[in-house]
Amino acid sequence: MKEKYLNLNYNNVLPFVELSDLKLMQKEINQARKTLDEKTGLGNDYIGWTNLVDEISPELIDDIQITAKKIKKQSDVLVVIGIGGSYLGAKAAIEYMKPYFPKRKSLEVVFAGQNLSSTYLSELLDYLKKKDFTVNVISKSGTTTEPAVAFRAIKQLLEEKYSYDEVKERIIATTDASKGALRTLADQEGYKTYIVPDDIGGRFSVLTPVGLLPIAAAGIDIKKMLRGAKAAKRNYKVKDIYKNDVHMYVALRNLLYRKGFALELLVNNEPKLNYFSEWWKQLFGESEGKDLKGLFVSSASFTTDLHSLGQFIQEGKKVLFETMIDIQEPEKDLYIGHDKNNLDQLNYLENKSVDYVNRQALKGTMLAHLDGQTPNMLITIPKIDAYSFGYLVYFFELACGISGYVLNVNPFNQPGVESYKKNMFALLDKPGYESLSKELKERI
């Protein structure tokens, strides 16, 4: 039998759940999976991601790669403007695969519009003044405040640096197919455009042009990434939770939630996964946190965060469980040498690799946290590459869709996100918000 590409070890959760609970959960997951597959549930008009890897056209992938080559030829920097799903997926992929300390000059991918920091945007503009750069602005509407503010400022800098015709060649818009402010501008100015699919929400869009263009421009093999996602789609069709790690993961996280473990901590022992964790937090937090339901999702990087969060996880209030991701083969490794004085008392580790030490630290942590009554499960993948990234993305997207239906919420909307926007618009005196503006200003 072929070894599974991804493995879920849940032994350290079993002491906290009953086998009878798992049997009942199987029925709930069967129904949730059927709802997702048959597109009969809440938000069913936003589940195009389920079949994306089978339906994305080779011509589109080739076109993205051609555009990526053009960007690299004409620019030192690609500025990706977007927020939420319009930036986190690409950022996660690039951080996942790029070297910590690149040795050769390559296209630099930077991000804007993901915050409203005046300092960040000002320093970015100063940095770009001395660089040749291209902009990929990503917004379905073109009016989302954070990316719209950034695009206005960066577009102005482009117009100061380059001729009108060259500016048109240095702006790529990823937006709606037919409507919205950014689509109107792109059509008027003749920008190169890619389409944000109507049936895929932002947090599920990393394998669409939203994520694929900046990822390809960073030199990452997007075809390999899509093959990984396609393999995951193929491997998780069986219903039995004991034969389907996605279904078992959904079962266990929901059972733990029902038993009072209200927070899920995604843990890695390789910092290249830090931004993958940020993408994961949006995926689950925005999908499940509604109708007064859902796990609070957070993340940590071990062993770093063991020196800050470890005490609480070990001995604090039992409100969380851990989902850990482990990479079997490090990209690089080194061995610990001999020191004749041994003042650091590390000679017992002589000829052992740093990755071996890291792996034993993770195992020891899992056992310690289990002894401290913190459930944990371990997801293991072979190595860091484009294939494994695509595989993990589909694993968690599928888990998120099914889990949302188990919770009986709409996993594909985010009505709560609009609340802060309304207040912000009112406090900024945006036309149409006058009555709310008066009310809020009286409150503060």
Our answer to whether residue 421 is catalytic in this structure is: yes
421, 422, 438, 441: the catalytic one is 421
- C-alpha–C-alpha distance, residues 62 and 50, integer Å: 22
Our answer to whether residue 2 is catalytic in this structure is: no
95, 264, 278, 286: the catalytic one is 286
The set of residues, in sequence order, having a beta carbon less than 8 Å from that of 383 and lying 6+ positions away, is 327, 328, 329, 331
- C-alpha–C-alpha distance, residues 128 and 111, integer Å: 12
Q: Which residues are catalytic, by number?
A: 286, 421
